[in-house]
A and B are shown apart, each in its own frame.
Chain A
Amino acid sequence: MQWETVIGLEIHTQLATKSKIFSGAPTAYGAEPNTQACAVDLGLPGVLPVLNKEVVRMAAKFGLAIGARVAPISIFARKNYFYPDLPKGYQISQYELPIVETGKLEIELEDGTTKIIGVTRAHLEEDAGKSLHEDFHGMTGIDLNRAGTPLLEIVSEPDMRSAKEAVAYMKKMHSLVTYLGISDGNMQEGSFRCDANVSVRPVGQAEFGTRTELKNINSFRFVEKAINFEVERQIDVLEGGGKITQETRLYDADKDETRSMRSKEEAMDYRYFPDPDLLPVEVSENLLNEVKASLPELPDAKRNRFVEEYKLSREDANQLTADRETADYFETTAKACADAKLAANWVNVSLAGALNKEGKDISESPVSADMLAGMLKRITDNTISGKIAKEVFEAMWNGEGDADAIIDKKGLKQITDTGAIEAVLDEIIAANPAQVEQLKGGKDKLMGFFVGQVMKQTGGKANPGQVNQLLKKKLGL
């Protein structure tokens, strides 16, 4: 039987506010346990929540960016359940009236085709704390620093049909929230994580199969692997005559498998009701206009502009606009060196490769956009060859200074003195009479041999074009 996969994602993205959603505690990551959990975050008796203004603005910004309806009035509700990292015994979330409804996001697949994924809703809620399972005499330790960090939960329609589409959606959403500046998108720190609802059905069947929910997937790679594993598992179960149980499953990256979360298996009855400590939240027309005016250029628009303005290929432009920092880096470089294609190539290949190798973010690159542009200028003005440029780039990466200083110090400047090149050429011609005869006889491929020899002898500093010309002149070709 042919099976079709159906996937919907729930992405939890932490909003990059300075203070928590309902308290004045700071949100910085990595503090000592419970040092950023104030009375409100601890759920002490008598404390009350007050909503952070920035959180509302960020949600509105997101809503506008995905062409959604930003609700003029939304309501906070309590989701009741007991868990040690949930101090109040309920999570303040939005249920019946979320702040963002019905938007969409366009994704692009590897083959260049595009697809629209519906976004059902996005709602605001508070994050929970963390349970630390290292052994404390057989006990679990609870750190509530993260409790109360603002989250935007973005719920997609079940519009994705493969793990690859899910990854493309997640990446696109990641790019969007970081562009908007509403999240740092740091997946290692849990700022951007997702749950995936996965089901399969026979091709052609209208109704969805029973779905399982894969919890807390925090990397693009894992989302693909987890879904693929789960799809295989479901198909195996169904083809073996079994039934899928609707349940929550945890992806174990070490074993590359999903397993049922027994602790969450009992039917959850969250007893949602409007939080009586909070009043209806208004997003006024004024606020909406203000937010609209502050929207940055979004990834799709930027990509289209790059193609148009810099004459880049769509593929190059896509890569450059995947995150805002790379796009900014590219634009700074392109403008400073006045050769956009060259800049795109260097950012996408050499820089991306170097960053990748060292696991660095572009913001941590030892070679700044201005430094790169300075080097590219030396390529365009023929001071150095592309080959030498690689050496210069490496030196810049290692902190040896800017391009000009390195070229100077290492004597990497191209030899443009005709006499010097001719002298080298003469030597080579004299040493290779047979090749000279063949070349003269019409074996053009041997041009490369001679140019190569010159480059070798000059340590790459000769200009290959110039060598070519001189050679032709000397041999009368």
Chain B
Amino acid sequence: MSLDNTEVKRIAHLARLAIDEEDIPNYAHNLTNILDMVEQMGTVNTDNVTPMAHPLDTLQRLRDDEPSESNKRDHFQKISPAVENGLFLVPKVIE
């Protein structure tokens, strides 16, 4: 699988990553190499293999429905880049 510059830009956009124009060929090159390496997986037949999503072969534990967290807004927002009236601020969202 060879990734061209357009494809790199598409992925970078999907992942919301600004990539300098001049770095794109380098990313395309490295990503292509990585995908080539990854494609060795194709050498083995896995038709009847059950996918393994997780190393733990067990079930989700459930929590009792009891509120246990108190308000720590001020503590959490001390490290926030932009806050006003307890709200996180972002550039205007247009719908």
Contact = CB atoms under 8 A, between A and B. Distances in A.
Determine if chain A interacts with chain B: yes
B81 to A, nearest CB: 12
A84 B90 contact: yes
Given A84-B90, A136-B89, A282 B63 contact: no
A157 B4 CA distance: 41
Nearest to B68: A24
Contacts of B61: 50-51, 279
Contact of A280 (B59, B63, B89): B59
B59 A50 contact: no
Interface residues of B, number: 35
Given A25-B69, A37-B73, A84-B93, A143 B87 contact: yes
Given A37-B73, A250-B95, A261-B95, 19 more contacts: A18-B66, A27-B67, A33-B87, A34-B86, A51-B63, A52-B65, A73-B59, A82-B16, A84-B90, A136-B84, A139-B82, A139-B84, A141-B88, A262-B94, A274-B53, A276-B54, A279-B54, A279-B56, A279-B60
A35 B86 contact: yes
Given A33-B87, A84-B90, A250-B95, A53 B76 contact: no
Contacts of B38: none
A263 B61 CA distance: 38
Contacts, number: 128
A338 interface: no
Interface of B: 14, 16, 53-54, 56, 58-69, 71-73, 76-77, 82, 84-95
Interface of A: 17-19, 23-27, 32-39, 42, 44, 50-56, 73, 75-76, 82, 84, 131-133, 136, 138-144, 250, 261-263, 269, 271, 274, 276, 278-282
B40 to A, nearest CB: 21
A142 B90 contact: yes
B54 A36 contact: no
Contacts of B62: 51-53, 56
B91 A274 contact: no
A139 B86 contact: no
10 contacts: A19-B66, A23-B69, A34-B77, A37-B76, A54-B65, A84-B93, A132-B87, A139-B82, A140-B92, A250-B95
Contact of B63 (A34, A53, A281): A53
A247 to B, nearest CB: 14
Contact of A26 (B67, B87, B92, B94): B67
Contacts of B76: 34, 37, 39, 42, 44
